[in-house]
Structure 1
Amino acid sequence: MSGVLDEIGLVHREVGTLRAGEEEAGTVLLRRSFDAALAEVWDAVTTPERITRWFLPVTGEFRVGGKYQLEGNAGGEILECVAPERLRVSWLFGPDPGFSEVEVRLAPDGEGRTVFELEHLAVVPEEFRSQYGPGAVGIGWDLALLGLGWHLEGGGLDQDPAEWQSSPEAKAFVARSGEEWGRAFAASGADPETVTATTVATIAFYTGE
């Protein structure tokens, strides 16, 4: 289990806000280095067949202006694609999703290594934000980066992903991730009581406990 939990410490996390037109968007940012060349990481995050192997099955028109859909998850439009540096998409889920965008940025990090940065901007209803905080989306992205790291190393889960998600290992990972997002939320200036309440609620939501 320690190997999976060690992955948590490889990620830098930030929480903030930005203006999105007339509204305020919450932001979560994740940054980590992968022991893989820039071209390899870019291929892993932009090739549909490879995205299916570490994240979710995806369909669509894979060009700027094209639509995409992740199975059972978000869909949207490919807004910008500057190979091998930047990919920006709208990230829409549910019948009335509002503004939500994800941008992935890559940069070389010495010989054969790549800095991966993901920023998710979204206008979130106040009742949801006050109940769960940024960890609601942050934990999901931590899980995605865990899968990407395994994929780039040439490995992966040795069991069905659905089974793993209910395992003690997965629940420990989620709990640690939620705690780290609580720290990032506190560092953004959030009220301590709000940080504690949202962290507990989000971890409970993901673990079912």
Structure 2
Amino acid sequence: MDILDEIARARRELSGDRRKHLVLSRRYDAEIEDVWQACTDAERLARWFLPVSGDLKVGGKYQLEGNAGGEILQCEPPELLRVTWLFGADPGFSEVEVRLSADGDGTLLELSHTADVPEEMWSQFGPGATGVGWDLALLGLGVHLSGSAPIDENTFHETEEGRAFITASSRAWGEAHQAAGGAPDEVAAAVARTTAFYAPE
């Protein structure tokens, strides 16, 4: 797997004013049922993303280990999963939606994250704050679906390959930010801060 090619395989879009809407989509060389199971089966999810606990059905609550939790709002196998995506007792609006569709002998995955983002966080990091994290997650999914050994999330950012991926992801989200109207100097500063956060020297 060419790690940097994974960046080019994805399409990134940004819209919204106070409520930000990020979209990340890419194709996987796997059948839709396989991709769906990888995204919704707790045992498989733990292999490429994070361990998950809770009442994993519509209306139930879930919690990703050391990360977000929330409520399962919609689940329509093998095409649609929609959940709230909150950290701690954060009462703000944040939802993630994953849509799958068959694409020839593969699957198109579209991940949308819509959230109210504090202005101070947005001005500091822009869409890369969450966008790079989602790029890393979908890279992990691609590695998992290919049958390769999983990425070590604790050390990936320290490797040459990992740093190259994070830098490219941060720049790609900067391009999406600028395409959505972000000022070039502000976008460049946010890209630099995001890259330093995910891959510190």
Please give the range of the TM-score, normalised by the shorter of the 2 chains. over 0.9
Please show how residues 53-202 of structure 1 align to structure 2 within 5 Å. 53-110=47-104, 112-157=105-150, 160-202=152-194
Q: Paired residues, what number?
A: 201
Q: Is the 8 A contact 2:21 2:113 kept in 1?
A: yes
What is the CA distance between 1:95 and its match in structure 2? Answer: 3.4
CA–CA distance in 2 between the matches of 1:164 and 1:42? 25
In the alignment, does 2:51 pair up with 1:52?
Answer: no
TM-score by length of 1: 0.92
- Aligned-residue sequence identity (percent) comes to 54
After superposing on structure 2, the runs of 4+ consecutive aligned residues of structure 1 that deviate more than 3 Å are: none
What is the CA distance between 1:190 and its match in structure 2? Answer: 1.1
TM-score by length of 2: 0.96
CA–CA distance in 2 between the matches of 1:189 and 1:64? 37
- Segments of structure 2 that go 5 or more residues without pairing to the other structure are none
What is the CA distance between 1:97 and its match in structure 2? Answer: 4.9
CA–CA distance in 1 between the matches of 2:7 and 2:91? 29
Q: Is the 8 A contact 1:147 1:156 kept in 2?
A: no
In the alignment, does 2:16 pair up with 1:17?
Answer: yes
- Segments of structure 1 that go 5 or more residues without pairing to the other structure are 19-23
* CA root-mean-square deviation: 1.4
